[in-house]
């Protein structure tokens, strides 16, 4: 290949990712567009159509849908920035099962992994924090459960189990779980979580002080993890 050809070669990075051998299977942009071609194309001309990618990995589906909406809504919304803001805020939604795929999807869609920074195509000043795990369920004596649940214990006293549950509800605990979380929640998912003295309940304030977190680190955790309801 000549130097001129190489200088003009500008591959789609998502096509390159789709060709990599990895645990994750990334959809090539060409295949994503073939699938989108099967939908009624008037969907991409309506400002009320909403799209959800329930398992976003590289963000290719959201990106290609965004392209079609940007073209399809041009007559109704001539201002490009207002059109982009409307599409990103009201028409496109995605769920990722790992932090890495979430960052990749944001990068593909917003041209930035942080949608609140100045480089993003649109801005979300108040990002939605994550919950990470659901509330703990207390099992009674002689109860069994399927692998849908990850058993913690057993405990000889109920107070001890309640104190463990208080620890699991802290943002500190759930952030450390979120770092390792993927589609398979196993014992390894909790490997970054330190054990505590469960003769007492725990709060985030106590954990922040125990591990000497800085104000910046605390602010990050508070902004990224949703309170347990």
pLDDT digits (tens, 9 = 90+) for 81-95: 999 999 999 999 888
Residue with the larger pLDDT of the pair 13 and 123: 123
For residue 229, the tally of other CB atoms under 10 A from its CB is 6
CA dist., res. 174 & res. 176, Å (int): 5
105 in Cβ contact with 62 (< 8 Å): yes
* pLDDT band for position 215 (cuts 50, 70, 90): very high
For the segment 21-32, the average pLDDT, to the nearest whole number, is 76
- On average, the pLDDT of the chain sits at 84
Asked if the bond preceding 40 is cis, omega within 30° of 0, the reply is no
Instruction: Give me the pLDDT at residue 4, please.
Output: 46
Residue with the larger pLDDT of the pair 165 and 18: 165
pLDDT of residue 23 exceeding 90: no
Instruction: Give the dihedral sign, CA 224/225/226/227.
Output: negative
CA dist., res. 228 & res. 222, Å (int): 12
For the segment 23-44, the average pLDDT, to the nearest whole number, is 89
* Angle, CA of 23, 29 and 33, to the nearest 5°: 130
The per-residue pLDDT for range 169-198, each reduced to its tens digit, is 999 999 998 887 766 678 888 999 999 999
* Range with lowest mean pLDDT among 5-19, 165-179, 214-228: 5-19
pTM, to two decimals:
0.53
CA dist., res. 13 & res. 28, Å (int): 10
182 in Cβ contact with 148 (< 8 Å): no
For the segment 55-76, the average pLDDT, to the nearest whole number, is 93
185 in Cβ contact with 177 (< 8 Å): no
């Amino acid at each position: 290949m000549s130097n001129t050809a190489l200088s003009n070669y500008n591959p789609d990075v998502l096509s390159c990712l789709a060709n990599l051998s990895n645990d994750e299977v990334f959809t090539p942009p060409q295949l994503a567009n073939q699938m989108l071609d099967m939908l009624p194309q008037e969907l991409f001309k309506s400002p009320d159509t909403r799209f959800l990618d329930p398992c976003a990995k590289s963000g290719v589906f959201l990106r290609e849908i965004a392209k079609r909406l940007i073209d399809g809504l041009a007559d109704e919304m001539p201002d490009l920035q207002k059109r982009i803001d409307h599409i990103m805020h009201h028409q496109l939604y995605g769920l990722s099962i790992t932090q890495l795929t979430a960052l990749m999807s944001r990068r593909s869609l917003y041209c930035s992994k942080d949608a609140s920074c100045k480089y993003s195509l649109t801005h979300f000043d108040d990002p939605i924090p994550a919950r990470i795990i659901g509330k703990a369920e207390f099992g009674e004596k002689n109860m069994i459960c399927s692998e849908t649940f990850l058993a913690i214990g057993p405990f000889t006293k109920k107070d001890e189990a309640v104190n463990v549950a208080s620890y699991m509800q802290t943002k500190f605990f759930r952030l450390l779980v979120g770092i390792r979380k993927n589609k398979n929640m196993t014992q390894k998912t909790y490997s970054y979580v330190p054990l505590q003295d469960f003769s007492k309940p725990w709060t985030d304030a106590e954990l922040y002080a125990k591990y000497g977190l800085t104000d910046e680190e605390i602010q990050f955790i508070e902004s990224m993890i949703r309170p347990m309801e």
